[in-house]
Amino acid sequence: MTVTKDIIQVGVNDRTLDLFEGQYIVPEGMAYNSYLIKDEKIAVMDSVEGGFSAEWLKNIEAASDGREPDYLIVQHMEPDHSSSITAFMEKYPRAVIAASSKAFPMLKNFYSAEYPDRQLVISDGDTLELGRHILGFIAAPMVHWPEVMMTYDRTDKVFFSADAFGKFGASDADEDWACEARRYYFGIVGKYGAQVQALLKKAANLEIDAICPLHGPVLTENLPYYINLYDIWSSYGVESEGVVINYTSVYGNTEKAAKLLAQKLEAKGCPKIALNDLARCDMAEAVEDTFRYGKIVLATTTYNGDIFPFMRQFIGDLTERGIKNKKIALIENGSWGPMAIKKMTAMLEGMKNIEYAENQVTIKSALSPESEAAIEALADELMK
């Protein structure tokens, strides 16, 4: 793919992968993007997953018209972007690696490779001239690793954003960008909202015509839409009006309560209701929904004096990512000693700007007229 006259996408699509990072379902595969800038000197932006080294090197050779690259710019050292570095350095023995100071120890740790006489350490604000193209480097620590360096091509106004603005799915996947970008963001980057906000402040000073991430498609149109979504996500704002109901159920009674609440909300005109059975759904999708909406319902059973394991895992996923700025409603079920609300509240302790619904619901084994009335009251409160 040609990004501009001089910038060519030379990455690869992985259609064989089932789980990204060993946990995220990727039905449309994964893109490992790499970019070649052709000028008086040639720079390649990042490598690809090691199983695709040969394909990637062929792409580089074709895009460079057989010329040897002068630089391999390493923005991010995760293996899906770095495990072909050694193959590149062997093929192009005169090439220099440009990377942050924190990237080179990782290169040694991952691949027992150092290339001491072929290193160019780059820092925030440094530039690299290729001829007509002048590259400026932007430090982006913890977006989402400490060594991350992003790059701005001042000539063509292209922002190489490393993992930021990436998504699950191959670069040619025919699917909505926001859904898989949101799941990717909150699954992988979401803990580091403050760092993403700092990056967005830096990027606001740049005139950008294209964003080139390391995963997913190159973004060239309606860039304010993508940047605005990243701003909402990284500031833990409310993207969509609605309610997400996350539940676990042992014998189906808590599930009935969750679905009853959904029915009542729908009848009252709730604009959007997301209902997630945490034992059966893609947990990453439930995390995505929970950060998307401003109102959250957590419904679970008391289990061994605690809460059901899938709910415990889920709340852990939320607190790990620093969930905040939400209204949370709690529903518990317990046949003889309901403890779930107490346990869930304790797990959420320390999260910032959390408002709890006044109407909490306790079910004793199965729905009763009293608990159904409590669900009605909760629905009314959530619709205010």
Distance CA 47, CA 73 (A): 9
Residue 16's pLDDT is 94
Tell me the C-alpha to C-alpha distance, in Å, between residue 146 and each of 143, 149, 318.
7, 9, 22
Q: Percent of the chain having pLDDT more than 70?
A: 100
Give the mean pLDDT of 363-374: 96
305-330: per-residue pLDDT in tens? Answer: 899 999 999 999 999 999 999 999 99
CATH 3.60.15.10 region(s) of the chain? 7-234
**Average pLDDT for residues 261-285, to the nearest whole number?**
97
pLDDT at 11: 98
Intervals of CATH 3.40.50.360 along the chain: 240-382
* pLDDT for 377 beyond 90: yes
What band does 362 get if pLDDT is binned at 50, 70 and 90?
very high
In tens, the pLDDT along 79-129 reads: 999 999 999 999 999 999 999 999 999 999 999 999 999 999 999 999 999
- Contact between 137 and 99 under an 8 Å Cβ cutoff? The reply is no
Residue-level pLDDT at 174:
87
Of residues 66 and 265, the one with the higher pLDDT is 265
The two structure tokens encoding residue 4: 């501009």
Q: How far is CA 260 from CA 256, 265, 299, in A?
A: 6, 9, 12
Tokens of 377: 């009251």
- State the Cα–Cα distance between residues 135 and 133, nearest whole angstrom: 6
SS3 readout for the chain: CECCCCEEECCEEECCCCEECCCEECCCCEEECCEEEECCCEEEECCCCHHHHHHHHHHHHHHCCCCCCCEEEECCCCHHHHCCHHHHHHHCCCCEEEECCCHHHHHHHHHCCCCHHHEEECCCCCEEECCCCEEEEEECCCCCCCCCEEEEECCCCEEECCCCCCCCECCCCCCCHHHHHHHHHHHHHHHHHHHHHHHHHHHCCCCCCEEECCCCCCECCCHHHHHHHHHHHHCCCCCEEEEEEEECCCCCHHHHHHHHHHHHHHHCCCCCEEEEECCCCCHHHHHHHHHHEEEEEEEEEEECCEECHHHHHHHHHHHHCCCCCEEEEEEEECCCCCCHHHHHHHHHCCCCCEEECCCCEEEECECCHHHHHHHHHHHHHHCC
For residue 206, pLDDT over 90 is answered with yes
What pLDDT does 96 receive?
98
What percent of the chain lies above the pLDDT cut of 90?
97
What's the average model confidence in pLDDT over 11-24? 95
- Residue 278, burial from CB neighbour count under 10 angstroms (0-12, 13-18, 19+): buried
Fold of 7-234: Metallo-beta-lactamase; Chain A (3.60.15)
C-alpha triplet 234, 232, 203: angle, nearest 5°: 65
Task: Please state the rounded mean pLDDT for residues 150-165.
Answer: 97
Contact 285, 277 (CB under 8 A): no
Q: At residue 1, does pLDDT exceed 90?
A: no
CATH code of the region 240-382: 3.40.50.360
pLDDT, one tens digit per residue, over 28-59 is 999 999 999 999 999 999 999 999 999 999 99
Across all residues in the chain, what is the average pLDDT?
96
